[in-house]
Structure 1
Amino acid sequence: MSLFSRLKESLNKTRDNFTRRVGILLNASSRLDDDFFDELEEILVTADVGANTSMELVERIRREVKNRRITEPTAVGELLCEEVTKILGEEVPRLAWSPAPPTVYLVVGVNGAGKTTTIGKLAYRFKQEGKRVILAAADTFRAAAGEQLDVWAGRAGAELIRHQAGADPGAVVYDALQAARNRRADVVLVDTAGRLQTKVNLMDELKKIRRVIERELPGAPHEVLLVLDATTGQNALSQARLFSEAVGVTGIVLTKLDGTAKGGVVLAIAAEMGIPVKLVGLGEGLDDLKEFQPREFAAALFSGLAGVKEE
């Protein structure tokens, strides 16, 4: 199955909540007046695109309708797809790589977002590409985290560096980087805690982990990947702000996109945070973590609207 087909399938719930309602609006409207644009904005807001992004998107469409002298509401579907693609970015955002190994990815996010699973799938992907991968179990707070990562290491064929529960996460990361040097590993994936109920302590811990990485390997981490659960909608945006302020997030991994009607949050993250979505989770399988393709995402999201070309 092509990526477009997978995206289209995964976005079924979001399309039911969002695109179907847009289609009804386009077909039921006789003119492009203030009532039309107000209703379009309301649909966007309720699809978790967010108030600010929805307002900006509708204003863009208003301008283009005027500039292109569009009079038919059904023509707005293609225009909406174009403007969403511009917000998401025209280019496919790739993961950064170090010119000399190891490349270090610091992976952050709240508990339950799919952080450890994402690390396991990334490890599997890199192993399939012939790379030597080390996982650092730096979530020493949650007793089951190390065991969970151990299972993923086994499935992916990666090596695991872990300490006992309650150990210093910085020490785990230090040992993982030393092991990466000694074993000539290509990639180090660092798992971290995500207990937001002790927000200040967590952010201080993440900052410390980042300092250890920077000290031991200048130029690293090469990516700080924030794992967000798409089903949380606008809460994902507040998490993005929080983690970005603490550790400088460089890319988003959006999980559970196949199980939510709130896929519109992708637009809010791109527009309001300026952080690229780099990977999306489209299922439970080892190979269900895919590079984010903005054009294909927009085409899949608006599939079925008049004028929108399917990839």
Structure 2
Amino acid sequence: MGLFDRIKRAFTGEDKVVKEEILDQEEQIVFEKYEKGMEKTRKSFSDRISDLFTSWRELDDEFFDDLEEILISADVGFKMTLALTDAIRDAVEAQNVHRPEDVKRVMLEEMVAIYEKDQPVNPDLIENPDGPTVVLFVGVNGVGKTTSVGKIGYNLKQSGHKVLMAAADTFRAGAVEQLNVWGERLGIPVVTGADQGDPASVVFDAVKKANAEGYDYLLVDTAGRLQTKANLMAELAKMKRIIERENPNGVQEVLLVLDATTGQNALIQAKQFNEATEISGLVLTKLDGTAKGGVILSIRHELDIPVKFIGLGEQASDLQAFDAEKYMYTLIRDLLEKE
């Protein structure tokens, strides 16, 4: 059963068992976090699509022009929008579809199909069985990188893991202090270095400690800005070399932290960082504060980098492991209910 059929059956009352299976994957409170955290995105997307079908005349070029405008305004992205509208055109022609409710069904099916890409996506962090899993957090200043380190540290500790954090953003005023506050609040030790010192030396000390004391995860906060982009990327490369030398299995994860409120600028940042360093996953923060959550579809379409965490609120527990099923259902729920 495909993702579209599964979520439709589950949440339109067609299959109570399937619904219970979905909700059993995590606690009900997690599903409620998705509902609340994606409210602005859901209403923006669903309301505009509903208005389009309310003013339905016929399935002509004007309809598809309006649909493209809605998708782009929802920050689904230009390339994703074109791929989606082309797929819808082809599907309605192949299925000889004319009624509004059938066009809506085709649209939702194609949106899910393009997101899935026929490739299963594993959003879980890699776990190194032979030593500490090292996770580098990268991204520009102001996206919530240090906060994400703390919140993911909280999630991992709640799951029973032994966690160490490293404050390798030695250049930003307050970054080390901010991570220390998180460490004290959560009971997670933090490795620090000299103010304005060498970030790579902090990483070196942290990897040594993580290996010597049997930590499961080492979370490394990195600088978001040096004098130039080249300097920043060179510093990240230096950190990775040290980790690969000192840790048997090297860097397991490089997570790029993006601010969802920036919409398509987040996609641009993802492309730039992915060109300079191998990004293994994305953390999308502040999703609860924006109607631009459609950028996840754009990122998925243009970059084969999985979203691993999304920020659905201010609390430590509100940074949730990304669940594509919950995301897609929350995005299109109102449209399913109005069929």
TM-score by length of 1: 0.94
| Counterpart residue number, 1:295 | 325
Q: Please list the CA deviations of residues 94-137 of structure 1 after superposition, one character each: whole Å capped at 9, or x if unmatched.
A: 22111222011111011111111111011111111221111011
| Counterpart residue number, 1:109 | 139
| Counterpart residue number, 2:70 | 43
Ranges in structure 1 where 5+ consecutive residues have no aligned partner = none
Q: 1:137 and 1:51, CA in 2 relative to 1: closer, same or farther beyond 3 A?
A: same
* TM superposition shift of 1:196: 6.8
| Residues 7-156 of structure 1 mapped to structure 2, 5 A cutoff | 7-89=34-116, 91-156=121-186
Aligned counterpart in structure 1 of residue 252 of structure 2, from 216, 222, 235:
222
Count of residues in Structure 1 that have an aligned counterpart in Structure 2: 309
| Counterpart residue number, 2:228 | 198
Q: Say if 2:202 is the partner of 1:172.
A: yes
Deviates more, 1:64-73 or 1:128-137: 64-73
The secondary structure found in structure 1 opposite 2:104 is helix
Work out whether residues 78 and 307 of structure 1, in 8 Å CA contact, stay in contact via their aligned partners in 2. no
Ranges in structure 2 where 5+ consecutive residues have no aligned partner = 1-27
For residues 308 and 255 of structure 1, the distance between their equivalents in structure 2, rounded to whole angstroms, comes to 30
Return the letter of the residue paired with 2:252: H
* TM superposition shift of 1:281: 0.7
Q: Say if 2:306 is the partner of 1:279.
A: no
Aligned counterpart in structure 2 of residue 242 of structure 1, from 245, 256, 272:
272
Q: 1:4 and 1:82, CA in 2 relative to 1: closer, same or farther beyond 3 A?
A: farther
Work out whether residues 88 and 294 of structure 1, in 8 Å CA contact, stay in contact via their aligned partners in 2. no
For residues 308 and 235 of structure 1, the distance between their equivalents in structure 2, rounded to whole angstroms, comes to 32
For residues 227 and 92 of structure 2, the distance between their equivalents in structure 1, rounded to whole angstroms, comes to 46
For residues 53 and 39 of structure 1, the distance between their equivalents in structure 2, rounded to whole angstroms, comes to 15
Percentage identity across paired residues of the two chains: 49
* TM superposition shift of 1:92: 4.9
For residues 64 and 99 of structure 1, the distance between their equivalents in structure 2, rounded to whole angstroms, comes to 46
For residues 278 and 9 of structure 1, the distance between their equivalents in structure 2, rounded to whole angstroms, comes to 19
For residues 189 and 71 of structure 1, the distance between their equivalents in structure 2, rounded to whole angstroms, comes to 53
RMSD: 1.8
For residues 112 and 299 of structure 1, the distance between their equivalents in structure 2, rounded to whole angstroms, comes to 30
TM-score by length of 2: 0.86
| Counterpart residue number, 2:11 | none
